[in-house]
């Protein structure tokens, strides 16, 4: 009796009659062990390719219709599953942002200063007036902002906005503060993400951020865009409002001596802050309203360095020295930032 042809036997062991056919490459095997060897050797998935060519005669059959229907249904299920993962589980996008990404893209020529640019638009219309002001201000200062893909952590942290009252950019700042003198870049550091107007000197912006951090206000980054004072800390503004209220209440009283305890009430007096040059009202023997500004003024002697973004992998970070007394806007002129500035601060 003649031996059987090899083409009629299992393509792996060549000893038994094949019983299985691979849906992906149509390889014939005789057992599960041979099928697994085939997938490992040929790097085969073992799954039928739904996009493979099919003759029209087979498409016009019930099996062909089921094939296309199952293929389209699988795509829709995978799409819904990915959307749930992005919105609900990972929180990269909101449902509104996800809908906007799927909208039809349109392009429009717009003037930015004396330059015409082609900008991408959606059905929602052109960018807001505040967004255009931010863009124009960045162009005037020659500041290049490198944007991360939508949904990345740094892109979601960016809260840079336009301040209506000051008419300036309210930057989202990332401070990397080293507290111990001589600690260097290898010592312990603190990361603070806070907002600062571009008209504030660097040392004052750092002082305000440190005061904000000590209060534990990391919960929300919602800043009041119309009630910003560029030269007073948050503590000083709050204290000034309290003192003004106390002075008004004091003025309503006719007597300066307490009738029950026979004690004289403290008389408010004005004093000029030597650190900010502003006038304020105090009541005690010591001028307590100067304390926050004294702490802020001490940051004048710190060393500030702007991180140069997009450094090639494997190379050390590049830091650009900055003057602590220059404003944030002047320090960023002609610079490049990744979403928002990152400034390293070292003690004297």
The helices-and-strands tally (H runs, E runs) of the chain is 10, 14
Instruction: Please give the Cα distance from 88 to 95 (Å, whole number).
Output: 9
| pLDDT tops 50 at residue 123 | no
pLDDT of residue 31: 93
pLDDT tens for residues 307-332? 999 888 888 889 999 998 899 999 99
| pLDDT tops 60 at residue 252 | no
Tokens representing 310 are 């997009």
Query: Which residue, chain included where needed, has tokens 């949904």?
Result: 151
Q: How many residues does the chain have?
A: 348
DSSP 8-state assignment for residue 148: P
| pLDDT tops 60 at residue 104 | no
Comparing CA positions, the residue from 157, 119, 151, 154 lying closest to residue 135 is 119
HSE-CB of 80 using CA atoms within 13 angstroms: 6
The torsion angles phi and psi of 78, rounded to 5 degrees, stand at: -65, -40
Query: In the chain, what are the domain boundaries?
Result: 1-49, 141-251+264-348
Q: Look at 4-18, 80-94, 177-191 and tell me which has the smallest mean pLDDT.
A: 177-191
| pLDDT tops 70 at residue 235 | no
Pick the more confident residue, 274 or 14.
Answer: 14
Q: How confident is the model at residue 192 (pLDDT cuts 50, 70, 90)?
A: very high
Q: How confident is the model at residue 37 (pLDDT cuts 50, 70, 90)?
A: very high
Q: How confident is the model at residue 174 (pLDDT cuts 50, 70, 90)?
A: very high
């Amino acid at each position: 009796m003649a031996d059987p042809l090899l083409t009629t036997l299992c393509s792996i062991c060549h000893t038994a009659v094949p019983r299985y056919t691979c849906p992906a490459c149509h390889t014939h095997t005789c057992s599960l062990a041979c099928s697994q060897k085939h997938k490992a050797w040929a790097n085969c998935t073992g799954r039928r390719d739904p996009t493979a060519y099919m003759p029209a005669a087979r498409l016009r059959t019930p099996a062909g219709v089921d094939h296309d229907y199952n293929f389209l249904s699988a795509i829709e299920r995978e799409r819904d599953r990915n959307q749930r993962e992005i919105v609900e589980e990972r929180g990269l996008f909101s449902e509104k942002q996800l809908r906007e990404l799927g909208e039809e893209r349109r392009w429009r020529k717009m003037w930015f200063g004396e330059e015409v640019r082609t900008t991408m638009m959606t059905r929602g219309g052109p960018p807001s007036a505040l967004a255009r002001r931010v863009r124009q201000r960045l162009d005037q200062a020659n500041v290049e902002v490198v944007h991360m893909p939508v949904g990345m952590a740094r892109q979601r942290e960016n809260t840079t906005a336009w301040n209506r009252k000051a008419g300036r950019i309210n930057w989202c700042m990332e401070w990397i503060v080293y507290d111990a003198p001589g600690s260097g870049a290898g010592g312990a550091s603190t990361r603070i993400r806070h907002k600062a107007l571009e008209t504030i000197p660097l040392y004052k912006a750092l002082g305000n951020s440190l005061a904000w951090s000590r209060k534990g206000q990391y919960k929300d980054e919602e800043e009041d865009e119309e009630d910003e004072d560029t030269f007073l800390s948050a503590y000083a503004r709050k204290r000034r409002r309290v003192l003004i209220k106390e002075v008004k209440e004091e003025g309503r009283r006719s007597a300066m001596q307490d009738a029950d305890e026979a004690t004289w009430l403290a008389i408010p007096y004005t004093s000029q802050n030597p650190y900010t040059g502003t006038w304020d009202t105090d009541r005690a023997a010591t001028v307590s309203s100067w304390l926050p500004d004294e702490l802020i003024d001490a940051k004048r002697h710190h060393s500030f360095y702007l991180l140069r973004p997009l450094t090639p992998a494997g190379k050390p970070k590049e830091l650009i020295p900055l003057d602590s007394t220059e404003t944030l806007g002047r320090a960023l002129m002609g610079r490049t930032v990744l979403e928002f500035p990152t400034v390293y601060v070292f003690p004297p």
